[in-house]
């Protein structure tokens, strides 16, 4: 499993309440319905210590079966309108893809020395 993060600010002139209404009614339910998406949420940032070159008013967090599966799902013609609307709202999103460190390990030891196999 991989995690996909989009960090972005809204374009100048974009209305935050309009974006948030669209995200709640269209973006979240549409992407949550994709086979590759295990979970999806959007955070509105309150504070950031990220350098000014990376402004992020919102962070999208998607847990996906794999980055390849997710990108394949996103390339479907049915998602073109969702992607186009996101592009109208988002100003130069930063994309990050990562893998869970513990999920990459076949087993781990707990404090009482039992061996636990991570889910996934």
Domain ranges of the chain: 2-116
Tens-place pLDDT, residues 18-35: 999 999 999 999 999 999
Two tokens, residue 108? 């781990």
Q: What would the CATH number be for the domain defined by 2-116?
A: 3.30.70.100
Tens-place pLDDT, residues 84-112: 999 999 998 989 999 888 875 665 555 55
| CB crowding 44-56: b at 16 or more within 10 Å, else e | eeeeeeeeeeebb
């Amino acid at each position: 499993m991989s995690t996909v993060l989009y960090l972005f600010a809204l374009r100048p002139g974009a209305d935050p309440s309009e974006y948030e209404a669209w995200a709640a009614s269209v973006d979240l339910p549409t992407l949550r319905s994709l086979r590759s998406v295990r979970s999806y949420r959007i955070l509105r940032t309150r504070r950031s210590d990220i350098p000014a070159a990376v402004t992020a008013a919102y962070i999208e967090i998607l847990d996906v079966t794999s980055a390849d599966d997710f990108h394949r799902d996103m390339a479907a013609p049915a998602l073109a309108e969702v992607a186009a609307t996101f592009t109208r709202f988002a100003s130069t999103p930063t994309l990050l893809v990562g893998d869970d460190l513990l999920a990459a390990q076949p087993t781990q030891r707990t404090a009482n020395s039992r061996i636990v196999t991570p889910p996934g």
